[in-house]
Amino acid sequence: LAKGVTGPIAELAEGTVQVARGNLDVRVTASSDDEVGLLVDSFNQMLSDLRSARADIERSATQLERRRRYMEIVLGKVGAGVVSLDAEGLIRTINPSAQRHLGISLGSQVVGRSLPQVAGAAGVVEAIGSLVGEIQRGAGESVQRQVQVAEGDEAKSFFVTLTAMHDESGKSLGSVVVFDDYSQLMKVQ
Q: CA angle 51-15-36, nearest 5°?
A: 105
Residue 98 has pLDDT above 70, yes or no: yes
Q: Can you tell me whether residue 17 is helix, strand or coil?
A: helix
CB 152 within 8 A of CB 123: no
CB 91 within 8 A of CB 109: no
Give the end-to-end CA distance of the chain in Å, rounded to a whole number: 97
The structure's pTM equals 0.65
pLDDT digits (tens, 9 = 90+) for 54-68: 999 999 999 999 998
CB 94 within 8 A of CB 104: yes
| Of residues 54 and 130, more confidently modeled | 54
pLDDT digits (tens, 9 = 90+) for 41-56: 899 999 999 999 999 9
| Amino acid 139: pLDDT | 63
Is the Cα dihedral 106, 108, 114, 118 positive or negative? negative
Q: What is the CA 65 to chain-centroid distance, rounded?
A: 10
CB 181 within 8 A of CB 103: no
